[in-house]
Structure 1
């Protein structure tokens, strides 16, 4: 990018004519000391060239999402060199999440912003509101480009994956191993969640919640990290991303190129709006100054100079006219049209709806934040003699619980911390409970193996009556003793009966003690799950309410996995979940 001199136009240039110099559709003549451009049948005076006296070129600063910043930098370089304007255009690459946050908290020293999706404007406003700030004044123009959301796969896995159509439905059903970069930072991931929600069952909201829990089990730090994970496992997997990101990755000649797999059940597209930032001063002249003439301002010697607003509009027009550079970078036109000739992506774009429902996307993002909060949980399991009774399918209750518990463990990420108690009456001396595994991260393979061994040993531990109330109180106290403010601390208590400890505390005494030890700064909700016909649901609900937890009833023991999804997905609404 260099310094260039332009002549001031007598009229504010129309946007379809601003780049006429680039197109060389001009006749240049010299009159006196001025340089003139023949446009539309008349002469327009331009500022003198750099050699004729432009000593301080105007500077434009454009902040753009990292995905599109390289293409915009190339367009800016051409704009600076060939437009004849006395301007230096700087394109700064920054993640849209970071720009949105900085704008919300006070502003960015830039003239324009090109985020990877319009949803970032809503994120910006929501963040400003949460900070008690007024929403930033911006002028969001139409999109300059678009790119569809796709599944990226390692080229070596493409044939195997293509044996069955890739689709959002397969992701929802857990049949297509999928990696999701953090939707807090990726509009592609957030749009992917929107697509998943659109294809999930309206009758069973657990399906979408369960899919988010599964996707949140391992969240890569970035899209690049997600791409690096492809091809590394035994089972082919895909990354939710965009066509443009696949093209950009392949342009770096990686050891394992990627291919874009287009969802068979339709997809969404990200837009890239051109956003002018009012705080930059590019919206016009300073307050109180009288403009010289229709977009021009006068210098001390009476010469006319082009305003920053006019230069910014010229750059925006240049970007909108730059279909080839954008296509070379893997972007299609704002309406999704355009042909690409790049490795790993299709020539023609898929039919894609715009990911325009920003309100729903923000709602999904809040749910994602709740579901992926890292948990610190003490699982307390009933091993009273009644667990040996048969369920409807003929298996013992404890057998069905074992199957459900092992399946549930697979849903947790390694960052979840889990401990295990078992309980019945007089289980450990005079105590009704026994600590079999401390609360520790599941990322520790030895700890995970220990918990799996505990679950396998449960049938051999059966016996006694149900010592529910003493155990619930002790569990809450234990979790609070080692409370971690960075995690969701909770007790998950699973039982098939009601309190049968005649020597223990009563329900009223339990509720009074829970109220007495309640600490709003260290909440420990108790999630009660009862299964079978003998559970005391009314008592469970009172215990849950006293701790701002929740009580669930699984009429069949095999419903436990579904109930666990409910328990996890409603963390944001307790204690008033509908």
Structure 2
């Protein structure tokens, strides 16, 4: 089979132990055109007379794969098969796809076996290498590389103009100096914009996050190849300053961009949330189209572009690339006919007909003769002539050193967990546990995310309880303060919640008290946050929702304040998602959906990836 060969420097390694099963969100698979309540497709592979090719891919490529599949049907590669083949893309995050293939490849989550994939196309070969490193035989040896996208920084257009970009180049060293300057934007002539803040994803779960910490080391060492472990060590102070500018470590770029999009659409100054976002260029493309989380666009869906677009900044040191491999699985459910058809589809991906489709979805073709200017241009904040420097893949020990260093220098956190223990938490979740037992297991399992220098506290709320410290309806399960060596003690205190009395849901009162408390405890230089888990709607608060939102919106981020973000978890079908989302948005936080309560442990892990 003809294959496009991998010619790019890419962040990939066979032995990234820190990247193993810490994958971000739960193992949820989405099938285009499915019913949200049943996850049952209106039509599946069994309704098609052709050989089905199920392509498991990251969300930003689902629409792309649909069009590539349509074009494939009319291609010489398909005609040579003698029988027809149909492409059916499904959406699963790259890390979660790797997790399934490593741990239990015969049980793809929430899918009928007819939707088990024939082809896997994650965002980066780092995930393919990870599966191979686990000794898994479910992959054909040689992936096909058919498209790529560089890692860039997205800066709001007004801020880019203030930095005189693109007339003036911007480097990682420049960004580090903007973060380090206590005057923030005031030093750049914009005193009302506060401090210079960046958004980064967690490198233990995100290819983009990993690319950024490696590029920081490249920048500090003034190298564009041959990065060493010694270079990473020498870059510690530079990288520490970079980390100090992080607002929080997003579990996905899509969540960060959605928060920014909602803030700007609502009239909030973008500078109050973030100054620069590390992301893939294709994510910036979709953000500027009005699709901040790069979700699968449904037929008839109208996208609304943001009020202010992001401009792609290509740092002068160079960029790493996400190389988007595709590989035919060698799994028992993949038939000989599917393997043959899959090989033909792979061959098609390298043809001019397929390569010309890629720019319409924000991706760079590998065929350099394809004109991308009609799609990838200044109107969507992209310069197709950049980046001019490609940074190569470091050796495995260098990547491991960078990840180990990040664990030590990442921005410290201060997190107050507030857990709803109302009566509905006794409801079963279908796996032999109650909601409360699931929440306890999830909270305890994530304690290893924190370092001894991080601050943490745990509160519980319901009616007809009280404490001297917090008053009615709230009890401290573990007093807020430095974690030190107390993980076991905190875990034990959380487990004791199983014996608690459970009654009403004073949700707004709990948020109000927790927010006031954390504003007093918040420190400059930390990620100060509240993690709120609730499975219902407010029933017993003295403060109204309107009054609560007014309070939360009064404290905005600037150069002299210590903001507190609220990350909410909507737990089960009864949770008031709209209210929890508004609470999060008002503080620059995010809401996480645990509609399926069995996924609560994965969802809590996804939340904790922010810290």
TM-score by length of 1: 0.49
TM-score by length of 2: 0.46
Instruction: State the structure with more CA Rg.
Output: 1
More strand by share: 1
Which structure ranks higher in relative contact order (CA pairs < 8 Å, sequence separation ≥ 6)? 2
